[in-house]
Structure 1
Amino acid sequence: MRATVVLVLKTSRCAPWVVPQVEALLTRGHRVVAVLPAGDGPVRRALGERGVPVVDSATDFALRPRPSTAAALVRFRRQLRALGPDVLLYHLYASALATRLASAGWGVPRVHMVAGPLYLDSPLVRSAERLLARLDTVTIGGSAFTAQRYRELGRPARAVPYGVDTTRFRPVDDRETRQRVRTGLGVAPGELLVVMVSYVYAPKRLVHRGRGIKGHAELLTAWLTFERRHPGSRLLLVGGGFDEAGERYRRELVERYHPDRHGVTWLDSVPDVRPYYAAADLSVSPSLSDNHGAALEAGAMGLPSIVTDAAALPETVGPDCGWVVTAGDSAALAQALAQAHDEHRHGRLAARGEAARARVCAHFDAASAAESVADIVESVARNREPSVWDGGAAAADPGAPEGERAASVWDGEPALRDAEPSARPEPGPGPRVVTVLTEARLGRDAAGRWAAEEPALGADAWTRYLAGGGRLRIVARARTRPGSAVHPLPPGVEVLALPYYLGPAGLLRVLPRLLPGVCRAVLTAEVLVLRLPGAVGLLGALAATLARRRYAAEVVGDPEQVLAAGVLGSTGRRAAALVHRVMRAAVRRAAAVQYVTEQALQGRYPPAPGVPTASVPNVRLAAPAFRTQSRVWRPGPALVVTVGSQEQHYKGHDVLLRALRRLADQGLAVNGVLVGGGRRHTELVALADALGLGERVRFTGPLHDRARLVELLDRASLFALPSRTEGLPRALVEAMARALPAIGTAVGGVPELLDPRFLVPPDDHRALADGLRTLLEDPALWTEQSARNLRVAGRYELGGLEARFAEWLHEVPGARP
């Protein structure tokens, strides 16, 4: 679907953080219209540069208790209605109040992203918000703190940071630029330069009465104490008054503290703050209430920070990258400045800056955060559409273009393409139709054909169901936007598109629409196969049990190991045992079971006695994938390769990075290449930088070109699989087929592949490093492992496995008893 998103902001001056969110929505094909107060501003200009229409608001968002305010809200209501929004997205509290009131009674989804928690410090506002927040469809806290404040009001809220552009804000390597700015400020070499970047806000009437919320007065008080004991240190304040009242308050502070007498330079607002961060040694955020504030920009620039414990600020600073002091406590702030000065004098302060950069890249990247906001906006937009199970296909795909809104969820034979699922004919004579419920993520390629997002789930993964003229129907989450996937499915395969989701939170959002789709697939299946683990497969098992339908299970992994590895945090660890029992029961009820391992998964999830059972690896390689002979040892710098998704941490790429650091510290000439992409990619790059591996490690992103991957494996010295959990890892088998020595963790089906001497515990980078070193320092052992791995990989050649699978599939009974 193509949604119209109306963005409402009360100001064009200080909300640049909405621009990445707008870009994410535009990239997905949505239309964005912005409603802003009249007048120029950086946000208006940035949106105009991106082709976003900007409309002057019919209200000034002041919401004063007078008749003109009511008239303005009526005009604002008409204005919003004329824009035809599918979703209303608003930031800042005045924007939220006006938009909620103007759109009351419409049924248009409203997404409120809370920029900061200041107004919730007022008991009066807090009481009102307990009721008014119910007008929002979704509440997004711009920090974990803000989200928690709304939950305390009884309002479900999820936390998504606004973040910072970590490519624009990054450490400056040009020492001349840094020194030029410092010289212009009169800062001598070696002197400590502290920076605070913030507008000046006048004291508010309802919160922190008589005190500016950004803490300028508290910092200046602390600075006078600190500067007396550490003369020569300099403080740079960047930012003028936010409005006329803020500018008056700034002049009052200048008259009260005479900052120019104490090594303080106060600049007005500037278009680009990066040169001043680059010149500084330390950032300070002394706010009485704040979201993440300037600490993110400073951290991204490689600056450590002193922040207060106000609201969300402590989320920005870890113990190794800054200090957290009590809000409003000038003495504590002066003491933290003294500690930073001491670390600067001894050359230790810069290390905190490196850690700050790594933390920001890992947790506060604006591009990643913007994608999360776009996911939420798409979700609420889809909920407005008729359910895909009531005949509308757009709900199944957040990226479907206009022309697809009336399309059927069925694809395949022309006679079925426009039919409702319920109208599907009963099976007649001929090959059976096998329905497979899977956790695969599907989409359309550039030519409009159904395709998989991951290469391992492309055509090769499904052709075995079509042998002998069989027919296949795949039931999976899917997007229908052309270009949303790149690995085509076999011709003639039908796809039943379930609502698309990512992660547990996404699953919960689409569950009301996912359940009917799974039930429909189960009830209309001729032969039903559930691929486990996965939410789709387990829901299918529940539906089949309740409907008294028979099903076969394909067991491809161990969910308990995944959850116990911490992929979903402490909640996942607590749920691991329960999930194990649920899947064990689902497999036990299956009328036929196929495993991808020889023994590992069979022991964990045994079948019922007497049912058809087979061990058929889901990794099947054609003859060209194999080398004809083992390798010959080559001396020189070693290259260690790993391949796997970076969507979650379970592939253990972070463990490999720490192992490579350990080998480098031991003097071994070794480099690494990490192949894969996903939400954790930026975090892994930041970790590599923090470990000092920038010159030793290369991140390729996903490699869809198999020839390039084979070339990389043939250049490698070793393959590493540091996974925290696995089924039967295709990447490892492919590396072994290239006669590559390997080391991996003793999880899932890995012990069925590797020499026991080269199995290590998960999450043990020392053992991983030791195993890599053993192979790299023993040419005879390396050569032996090359020949062994090529021989073992031969078990996974295509021909014999296909015959074994066909025999098992023939024994799978029909779904109807």
Structure 2
Amino acid sequence: MIRPLRVVLVLKTAQGGLFTLSHVDELRARGHEVVAVLPPPEGPLSRALAARGVAVVDSPFDFSFRSPRRAAAGLLRLRRTLRELAPDVLHYHLYASALATRLASLRFGAPRVHMVAGPLYLESALIRMFERRLARLDTVTIAASEFTARYYRAFGRTREQTPVIFYGADLGYFRPASGEERARARESLGIAPDTFVAVMVALVYAPKRLVHRGRGIKGHDVVLDAWRGFHAEYPDSHLILVGGGFGPAGERHRLELMDRFRTANPGSGVTWLDTVDDVRPYYAAADVSVSPSLSENHGAAREACAMGVPSIVSDAGALPDTVVPGSGWVVRRGNAAELAAALRLARAEHLRGELVERGARARRLAVELFDDARIAAAVADVIESSAEHATAAAEARPRVFSIFTEARFARRPDGGWTALDPATRAQSWDRYLHPGSGGRDVSYGPSVPDRRPDEKRVRPRAAASGGQPTRWTATVAASGPANPPSSTNQVRVVGRGDPRALADTVALPGGVTLVPLPYYVGVGGLMRRLVPLVVAVARAVATADTIILRVPGVMGSIAAAVCRVLRREYAVEVIGDPADVLRAGVLGSVGRRLAPLAEAQMRWLVRHAGASLYVTNRTLQRRYPRRPGTPSIGLSNVLLRPGTLAAQSRAWRPAPFRVVTIGSQENHYKGHDVLLRAVRELVDSGLDLSATIIGGGRVHGELIELAHAMGLAERVRFTGVVDDRAAIRRLLDSASLFALPSRTEGMPRALIEAMARALPAVGSRIGGIPELLSPSCLVPVDDHRALAAAMARLLTDQQAWEEQSRDNLKLAQTFEQSLLEGKFSAWLAQVPAARRR
């Protein structure tokens, strides 16, 4: 079963192109949706499509390239229209349509199926030079004849990329006329039953500038020149021309020809009709059809064949395909004398009654080559195959996730990049690289949310009808080789890179590359580097395949605004609350006043995301709701690897007690200063207590000084950053309590990992902490006395302590990697591509 597709058909005219109707009917019969983009005004094609219930959209571009400025503006408007239609496949005929659609859909991702209506433009050396390169933009170039296919194969296109499928004729609609129909048609035209009648059905095109200069490509001047001599010789003969001028220029050329050859004169033997809705009566009236084109595919000759009318065709393009021995004649293009000679032969056979057999042979040829039902099925097969191939290639191709983050990076001695923050080193990208694979083991890093804006540092388908084998094939392959299947993605981390800083820590893993942004420190540095930073972020957005913004943060805010301007989709990982940060007083009174603005900006950013991940289950979702109908999940970015969880809960031990905390010291977000004051309170109350503070950063020295000033030098140990997982686990296992008095949080990794060791904990009532700890273990932000009281109560109550040990271990088990990685993988698969179709 082929999934339902939206096929957007683009044509430069609503006046012609009726040959596409059978293709549209077949696609719709297979369950696909077709939308046509046609320029106004309304014409036969748009009316026929509308009568079928096919949506017709006015093209904002007139497909004229005469004025480069107007063409550029029109292409941009067409691009917007096509993007809004979100095609699964773009399908176009006629060269101006092909050129415009290719350019307007660059980097769309949707396959492009170009069906070449005729080879005229390929006869220009200049156009061939450009087409050699532009043809590469087609996923498939359907050549409507072997003649056309040879051009494209000479351009380097393979046979699979250039299937040959003729334009067809409806063999039920176009069928040999009965004697009664023939008599009625001649009577309506005032033509005697025994008169020799030739017919030419073709619109009149103005002469082109680049090919056949001064002459119309359909050869009206050739047939009129030949007819002038032939009719003088056989005045009882009659020529019917059916077709008005194509556009104003074509109509002017028609009037010039009428005047030059005096076709309006009663003795000219010519009846020149304007464009008609039904050409069958004119074929029914005729003995022979004439197609003297200077450049052509199969043209009207295929309809003449279907009507059982023998043809005289020129040797231009694919016209010789419409004639076999015994069905008609082929003459040199532009040669009026040869055409007149062929008319004499046809008239002689008419008089002898031999043209009837030529007509029957022509009908058999039409059944063999031009059965529209089979041809429409072949075109639909190519369109479906191109979509299937594109889908398979997209599934096989690794997705490239561009993750915009506040993380900071430094150069390694070997020239590579390494993260300055342990939490954003190699292991943090595993779940993007190998979703659902289990990842690799991870070395421990402190629980650090990405830096905030105020930081100071750095169907079943219809079967083809039976019949003889045709010359066309529906085998198709997309341009270029498909990537081999792969379950591995790629990651582009977009973050600040300091090329002057050196760090000999773990390099970013294979499959992860850094897009370094201008480096800055603090708000002042941000203001000085804002312009180049915006430019760099815009460049990263413009070249991204899939965009994920870790928010809140400066990078995510800038990238979201750029995405809106460039009309790119993005997803968000909501890892914290900027309003909480500012209300906590990190930027003082100014920050508190800015908190409502930060909250509103964050709401806007999340509401416009195409997918959202929250590190909490409820807290952040309530404050920053997603856009309805978009994929969303509440999922911690903490995945507990095998071996992380303790085997069982713990038994309480009496004093001395040791409290442990872990977190970045780039700023005071983690409330380590609050913990120091709480420790002082507890020591003063007589509790035998010490503390171990793990982490490093800009305020590390300031915290040590505070501990000395408070007389806690012997009671508090500062370890700095610890990257050894085993060492961290030993510290947690030897502790009596874990404390996290943060001023802002998302879903705290360090707390979850402490709980995984069955360690009781206390924390501030902020972010995702209330989702982890019971109410009795929560304290207000910045309240060291409440923190001290909660710690003392838990440490000295054996029953409460052991109950919390059991509860914490049980809750931590829900963060096991095997339980969460499948959910993350499912969400990641729904993250939309950056470029909207």
Q: Which has the larger radius of gyration?
A: 2
Taking structure 1 as the reference length, what is the TM-score of the superposition? Answer: 0.48
Taking structure 2 as the reference length, what is the TM-score of the superposition? Answer: 0.47
Q: Which has the higher contact order (CA 8 A, sep 6+)?
A: 2
